[in-house]
């Protein structure tokens, strides 16, 4: 009897849809892929012959590069595609564009878009697997997976940890995917930020508490996840000025002392130094920000591997 665990869906659209078992499958496999990335020869033939298309309609440094590298480490053929250089500027629809890349042989389509729900729309029309690389203010599932992987690596567990997510939670797909992921894995989640960027209804999730004072919120925290202030998604009036935002919500060494001494500081990037985080913290001994980036590669290899694996059953 085959007792292997497989992902249930053909796509990875969000953490909300994954079971705890599926999350742990991906995180455990990422450990094996990280071991491969530490070897002299970092490439494995696992997905040789498959084609991955990166469709990015919003800027990205970490996610696009690490999906491309992850696909190459698995020996796939990778094509990178950005909105402004495509026939979308001539009026072609996004769906026709995606159907075109599928007709060219794409097995995995990785999509980032400023509109929430675009990956879900594509998943209904494509045979290829769709991976959400960030859709509007909805979800960024591989970011939450790499964050969970980093926490497990540093703390050995997630269950029972006190994890603070700080800043512009209202506009953050990273925060939403992390709330789903960390709660499924049993963490106590604290959301901290100004009332304009963190409505109290976020606290209605079981196991999630809302704070409007940074030092109170991070008291005794094991993990502090700082978020970028997403000025491009905001109107005006969420806070007076970025200087005042930093004074109230920016993480400095002094404020960090309210957390546990061995607390880790995370940030999904890109960082706005001097707005949500001081350089003394971003570059300090508690920071694991660059390790998050490194771990993204192993996690994305695991996601692509498991989506292709289920097609063979
Ligand atoms: N964390 C993240 O999504 O970064 P990029 O926008 O650089 O991909």
Domain ranges of the chain: 15-139+293-312, 141-288
Higher pLDDT: 310 or 237? It is 310
What pLDDT was estimated at residue 236? 64
Mutate to test the pocket of ligand 1, among 136, 165, 269 (most ligand atoms within 8 A of CB): 269
Interval between CA 60 and ligand 1 midpoint (Å)? 5
- The pLDDT confidence band at residue 3, using thresholds 50, 70 and 90, is low
Per-residue confidence (pLDDT) for residue 1, from 0 to 100: 45
Compute the distance from residue 61 Cα to the ligand 1 centre, in Å. Answer: 6
**What spacing in Å lies between the alpha carbon of 298 and ligand 1's midpoint?**
16
Highest mean pLDDT among 174-178, 227-231, 240-244: 174-178
Beta strands in 174-278 (DSSP E): 188-192, 208-211, 223-226, 264-266
pLDDT in tens, 153-196: 999 999 999 999 999 999 899 999 999 999 999 999 999 999 99
Mean pLDDT confidence for 236-264: 91
Distance (Å) of CA 139 to CA 68, 243, 306:
20, 28, 20
Q: Which of 141, 150, 270 for a ligand 1 pocket mutation test, highest count of atoms within 8 Å of Cβ?
A: 270
What's the pLDDT tens digit per position in 283-306? Answer: 999 999 999 999 999 999 999 999
The CA distance from 288 to 310, in Å, is: 33
What's the 1 CA to ligand 1 centre distance in angstroms? 41
Give the contacts of 6 (CB within 8 A, at least 6 positions apart): 306, 309, 310, 313
> What is the distance in A from the centroid of ligand 1 to the CA of 144?
12
Name the residue at shortest CA distance from atom 5 of ligand 1.
60
CATH class of 15-139+293-312: alpha beta
C-alpha–C-alpha distance, residues 147 and 112, integer Å: 19
Residue 43, beta-bridge partner list: none
Q: Is the pLDDT of residue 242 over 60?
A: yes
Q: Is the pLDDT of residue 134 over 70?
A: yes
Say what percent of the chain tops pLDDT 70.
97
Which atom number of ligand 1 is nearest to the Cα of residue 58? 6
* Selection from 266, 267, 284 nearest residue 154 by Cα: 266
Which residues, other chains included, contact 270 with Cβ-Cβ below 8 Å and sequence gap of 6+?
61, 62, 228
Distances (CA, A) of 229 to 82, 235, 249: 24, 12, 10
pTM for the model: 0.95
Residue 237 has pLDDT above 70, yes or no: no
**202-222 pLDDT tens trace:** 877 889 999 999 999 999 999
Mutate which of 58, 60, 139, 228 for ligand 1 pocket (most atoms within 8 A of beta carbon): 60
What distance in Å separates the CA atoms of residue 214 and residue 98, rounded to the nearest whole number? Answer: 43
Residue 231, pLDDT > 80, answer no
Of the listed ranges 22-26, 55-59, 227-231, 259-263, the one predicted with least confidence: 227-231
CB-based pocket (< 6 A), ligand 1: 60-63, 134, 143, 268-270
Is residue 109 a contact partner of residue 128, using CB atoms and an 8 Å limit?
yes
> Which of the four pLDDT bands, split at 50, 70 and 90, describes residue 233?
low
Topology, domain 141-288: Rossmann fold (3.40.50)
């Amino acid at each position: 009897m085959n007792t292997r665990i497989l992902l249930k869906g053909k796509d990875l659209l969000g953490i909300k849809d994954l079971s705890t078992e599926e999350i742990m499958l991906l995180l455990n496999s990422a450990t094996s892929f990280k071991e491969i990335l530490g070897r002299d020869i970092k490439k494995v033939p696992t997905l040789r012959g498959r084609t991955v298309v990166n469709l990015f309609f919003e800027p990205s440094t970490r996610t696009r590069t690490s999906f491309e590298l992850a696909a190459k480490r698995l020996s796939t053929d990778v094509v990178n595609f950005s909105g402004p250089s495509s026939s979308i500027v001539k009026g072609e629809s996004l769906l026709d564009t995606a159907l075109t890349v599928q007709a060219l042989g794409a097995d995995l389509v990785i999509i980032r878009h400023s509109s929430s729900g675009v990956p879900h729309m594509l998943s209904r029309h494509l045979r290829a697997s769709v991976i959400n690389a960030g859709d509007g203010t909805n979800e960024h599932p591989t970011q939450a997976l790499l964050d969970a992987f980093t926490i497990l690596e540093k703390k050995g567990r997630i269950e029972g940890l006190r994890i603070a997510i700080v800043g512009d939670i209202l506009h953050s797909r990273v925060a939403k995917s992390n709330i789903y992921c960390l709660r499924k894995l049993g963490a106590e989640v604290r959301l901290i930020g100004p009332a304009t960027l963190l409505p109290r209804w976020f606290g209605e999730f079981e196991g999630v508490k809302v704070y409007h004072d940074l030092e109170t919120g991070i008291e005794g925290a094991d993990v502090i996840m700082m978020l970028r202030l997403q000025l491009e998604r905001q109107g005006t009036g969420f806070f007076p000025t970025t200087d005042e935002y930093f004074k109230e919500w920016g993480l400095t060494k002094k404020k960090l002392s309210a957390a546990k001494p061995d607390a880790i500081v995370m940030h999904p990037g890109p960082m706005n130094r001097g707005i949500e985080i001081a350089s003394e913290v971003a570059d300090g001994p508690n920071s694991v920000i660059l390790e998050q980036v490194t771990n993204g590669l192993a996690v994305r290899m695991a996601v692509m591997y498991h989506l292709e694996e289920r097609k063979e059953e």
